[in-house]
Structure 1
Amino acid sequence: MTWVILTGRNSDLGQVDTPHKIITNREYLTHPALFRGQRPKVINLSNNYAYQSRGYYASLLAGSRGHKVIPTVETMIDLSERKLYENALPELETALNKCRKELGGSYPPKVCIFFGIGPSKVWDRFAKLLFDWFRAPALEVVIRDGQNWASIQRIGFHPLARLSADEKPRFLASLEAYTSREWRDSKTRTPARYTFATLVNPQEQLPPSEIGSLRYWARIAEKMGVEVEPITKRDLAKLANYDALFIRETTSISNHTYRFARRAQQEGMPVIDDPLSMIRCTNKVYLHELMSANKVPVPPTVMIAGVSDLQLAADTLGFPLVLKIPDSSFSRGVKKANDFAELKALAEQWLEESDLLIAQKFVPTDYDWRVGVLGGQPLFAVQYLMAKKHWQIVNHKTNGKPDQGGVKTFTLKDAPEDVIATAVKAARCIGDGLYGVDLKETKDGVVVIEVNDNPNLDHGCEDTGEKDEVWVRLTQWFLDRLERQGR
């Protein structure tokens, strides 16, 4: 592995300070043939990361050259204004305040974090989380210490030129620890063109892919020059060692799966599911608006922003109707109301946790179509049968054990043309990744119920119709994007 360190000036870092190659960002920008045919990891230590500065362009062009770089331009933009990173502050401040006791009850006005390492072990939890959010060599965090709560006033880059005499040895030690750790994490294996990370949670009750199915995919991918390696939520710091990421635990924009997707995107790695697809598919309000705007058929729907909208929903949709929390998965947060009293009781309960609900016309069927769409093309088609004596495909029982209906598989050729065409049209509204489109066949035609990121994909189930072609195409989706990047 080749490490390349970029500086703003020759005098910023001495060659004796690190065993890695040091060049100025100007040299890197003006000599595009440097490292041609190699895939170096670039640490950009420019003193200025402002938009259109040399530091900015160095990271921008590193991506175009297939070089992995920190910080990325996305990180530079994220940290350019507080409003762009304020969504990270609640989690960071929670971690920060867990240090209070060990710090003797008070905080310094600022702390510098180098490569995810703080000035002492007390800062470990906060420093690692900060590095998870903003993968940068040196960050300065300005802190306002209140009586019982410390808040973060600013997060910014801490350039080499501003390192104090006391900070520089700690910075160099952190640099050495970071590059050494990354090297040790790379295991000696049978040579493969690429290594894909697969994010899994072995304890998840309803994972989108069983571990056995992922092992089956790994055997097929190996024949295509790809090694598939499972990782868990503790492995975010190792993600840059891989070439692509396939998320195979249930996604949420409020947990680590979104951070993994975001980090992969910042690293220039092909990723399923990408952050934008997560955001779009997670929210049923957005999906309804998007499908309607693109003339994709959906069931009659009424938005509920308060109890005053319930009568409109009842008059428009009739009973029974289906009430949904916008952000829900696996049939959770989706209930049927048989009359106005049930609707009112359920809506009042859910409006306490969500400002907006969705009411849809109840469309009873014995099954839902699920069409997998990858890269804008159909991948598989199955029917998910309703759970026994239930109107949904998953019945979440009070004992905590979900009851699922059966699956009926089809080849794409045997599935109805209008089902496939509607599913593909719906998925293309979202993006270019992997989606599971749920549809119902009615007497008035096909309607889309929702488009899911992170769809189920298991050997012996969703792949039954198209066989190994499903896994070959999945692998090739990643390969095509890697090869377009010249990686």
Structure 2
Amino acid sequence: MKKVLLIARAKTERTLELADIFAGNVRQLLEDDLIVENCEISELFFELDSESIAIYHPKKRFDIRDFDLVIFRHIGSYAVEAHAITAYCEYFNISYTDTYLNRLLPDNKLSSEFASWFGGVRNWPRTFYGPVEEMERRFAELGERAVLKDNFGSKGRLNFVVSSPEQIRSIVEQYSDVFFLLQEFIPNDGDLRVLVMADKPVLAIRRVGDGSSHLNNTSQGGIAEVVPLDQIGEDILAMARRSAEVLQIQVAGVDVMINSQTGVSYLLEVNNGPQISSGSFVEEKTALYADMIRLILRRQTSV
């Protein structure tokens, strides 16, 4: 039996009711062996880790994978969620409309994680995104504490360590216009920013926090030092290179964190606008930027 999912953006109870009525009308006009389900796009919950990925409805208990066809009726401002759903559909061979929704990768953490996961780069910490009620319910799966961060944030802004479902709720309600990711906390002694230019890792910067918070960003007081690339594990360099390639970012700042207890390396973010003309080591980064321009021009003349 074929199953169809209609996804809409309904801001009010009335528009949600109208979406239900429309789905019912469509259902009546189709063959008896077709099942038509509908949902509001903000009701869906997204999760991934290094081994698995899912998009599901916490209350209706279905996964997007349960359907043969997904139709976006309208998405409102939820382009991030729609893009992740289209990538999910393509990976699992689910038909969907409208296909224009997969054209441009929105600049945010969730889209980057989903796109890189489907591209084979899966070293992400366990991540939850969606209704706060489901984040609260599943918080314990992440351990004693987790990181709650703005899906569109940068430079460590709106990035919190939380140790209870109540803290999650409090922060989400305080910043009601922010879309948050909940991610497992990785014990660490700092992190690495690997700068990738023209598909090649060119610089690695180790960042260590000042102890006042869990953040290692230099914009949040962290200390930075350049690490020779030959001292960086090839697995980390390959992960940085591949993630930039999959996301089609020619100038990328790939943030990597090594679990200080297990030695496992995780991707934290793939930034498409890394600091070049500001931040630490501007002179070195500017020289590498000039080298990249020369390389791209040489590639053009050799074609």
User: TM-score surpassing 0.5?
Assistant: yes
Aligned mates of 1:385, 1:301 — CA distance in 2: 23
Q: Which residue in the other structure is 1:271 paired with? A: none
RMSD of aligned residue pairs (Cα, Å): 2.8
Q: 2:154 aligned with 1:329, yes or no?
A: yes
Higher RCO (C-alpha 8 Å, min separation 6):
2
- CA displacement at 1:478 relative to structure 2: 4.7
Aligned mates of 1:448, 1:462 — CA distance in 2: 24
Q: Which residue in the other structure is 1:89 paired with? A: none
The secondary structure found in structure 2 opposite 1:439 is strand
Kindly indicate whether the alpha-carbon contact (under 8 Å) linking 2:249 and 2:272 is maintained by their aligned counterparts in 1: no
Q: Structure 1 282/387 Cα, relative in aligned 2: closer, same or farther at 3 Å?
A: farther
The secondary structure found in structure 1 opposite 2:144 is coil
Aligned mates of 1:316, 1:289 — CA distance in 2: 20
Q: Which residue in the other structure is 1:301 paired with? A: 127
Aligned mates of 1:392, 1:404 — CA distance in 2: 9
Candidates 235, 253, 265, aligned match of 1:446 = 265
- CA displacement at 1:330 relative to structure 2: 0.7
Aligned mates of 1:293, 1:349 — CA distance in 2: 33
Kindly indicate whether the alpha-carbon contact (under 8 Å) linking 1:437 and 1:450 is maintained by their aligned counterparts in 2: yes
Q: Which residue in the other structure is 2:144 paired with? A: 319
- CA displacement at 1:438 relative to structure 2: 0.1
Q: Note the residue ranges of structure 1 that are not aligned, 5 or more in a row.
A: 1-278, 396-401
Q: Structure 1 467/343 Cα, relative in aligned 2: closer, same or farther at 3 Å?
A: closer
Which has more radius of gyration? 1
Q: 2:202 aligned with 1:379, yes or no?
A: yes
Q: 2:253 aligned with 1:430, yes or no?
A: no
Q: 2:107 aligned with 1:282, yes or no?
A: yes
Q: Which residue in the other structure is 1:353 paired with? A: 177
The secondary structure found in structure 1 opposite 2:154 is coil
Kindly indicate whether the alpha-carbon contact (under 8 Å) linking 1:281 and 1:453 is maintained by their aligned counterparts in 2: no
Q: Structure 1 298/384 Cα, relative in aligned 2: closer, same or farther at 3 Å?
A: same
The secondary structure found in structure 2 opposite 1:282 is coil
Kindly indicate whether the alpha-carbon contact (under 8 Å) linking 1:370 and 1:438 is maintained by their aligned counterparts in 2: yes
The secondary structure found in structure 2 opposite 1:381 is strand
Q: Structure 1 425/281 Cα, relative in aligned 2: closer, same or farther at 3 Å?
A: farther
- CA displacement at 1:388 relative to structure 2: 3.6
Candidates 297, 300, 303, aligned match of 1:479 = 297
The secondary structure found in structure 1 opposite 2:194 is strand
1:168-224 per-position Cα deviation (integer Å, ceiling 9, x unaligned): xxxxxxxxxxxxxxxxxxxxxxxxxxxxxxxxxxxxxxxxxxxxxxxxxxxxxxxxx
The secondary structure found in structure 2 opposite 1:286 is helix
Kindly indicate whether the alpha-carbon contact (under 8 Å) linking 2:162 and 2:168 is maintained by their aligned counterparts in 1: yes
Aligned mates of 2:116, 2:137 — CA distance in 1: 22
The amino acid that maps onto 2:281 is: C
Aligned mates of 2:131, 2:210 — CA distance in 1: 32
Aligned mates of 2:118, 2:295 — CA distance in 1: 28
Aligned mates of 1:318, 1:338 — CA distance in 2: 9
- CA displacement at 1:477 relative to structure 2: 4.0
The secondary structure found in structure 1 opposite 2:294 is helix
- CA displacement at 1:471 relative to structure 2: 4.1
- Count residues in correspondence: 196
Percent identity between the aligned chains? Answer: 21
The secondary structure found in structure 2 opposite 1:299 is coil
Aligned mates of 2:193, 2:267 — CA distance in 1: 10
TM-score of the aligned structures, taking structure 1 as reference length: 0.37
Q: Structure 1 430/484 Cα, relative in aligned 2: closer, same or farther at 3 Å?
A: farther
1:344-381 per-position Cα deviation (integer Å, ceiling 9, x unaligned): 1012233x214x42110011322111111111111111
Kindly indicate whether the alpha-carbon contact (under 8 Å) linking 2:127 and 2:184 is maintained by their aligned counterparts in 1: yes
Q: Which residue in the other structure is 2:236 paired with? A: 419
Kindly indicate whether the alpha-carbon contact (under 8 Å) linking 1:282 and 1:328 is maintained by their aligned counterparts in 2: no
Which residues in structure 2 correspond to 1:35-50 (within 5 Å)?
Answer: none
- CA displacement at 1:310 relative to structure 2: 2.3
Aligned mates of 1:454, 1:446 — CA distance in 2: 22
- CA displacement at 1:483 relative to structure 2: 4.6
Kindly indicate whether the alpha-carbon contact (under 8 Å) linking 1:280 and 1:286 is maintained by their aligned counterparts in 2: yes
Kindly indicate whether the alpha-carbon contact (under 8 Å) linking 1:422 and 1:446 is maintained by their aligned counterparts in 2: no
Q: Structure 1 288/452 Cα, relative in aligned 2: closer, same or farther at 3 Å?
A: same
Q: Which residue in the other structure is 1:47 paired with? A: none
1:328-355 per-position Cα deviation (integer Å, ceiling 9, x unaligned): 11111221112222111012233x214x
The secondary structure found in structure 2 opposite 1:287 is helix
Which residues in structure 2 correspond to 1:29-428 (within 5 Å)?
Answer: 280=105, 282-296=107-121, 297-303=123-129, 305-350=130-175, 352-354=176-178, 356-394=179-217, 403-428=220-245
- CA displacement at 1:446 relative to structure 2: 1.0
- CA displacement at 1:324 relative to structure 2: 1.6
- CA displacement at 1:403 relative to structure 2: 4.0
Kindly indicate whether the alpha-carbon contact (under 8 Å) linking 2:254 and 2:271 is maintained by their aligned counterparts in 1: yes
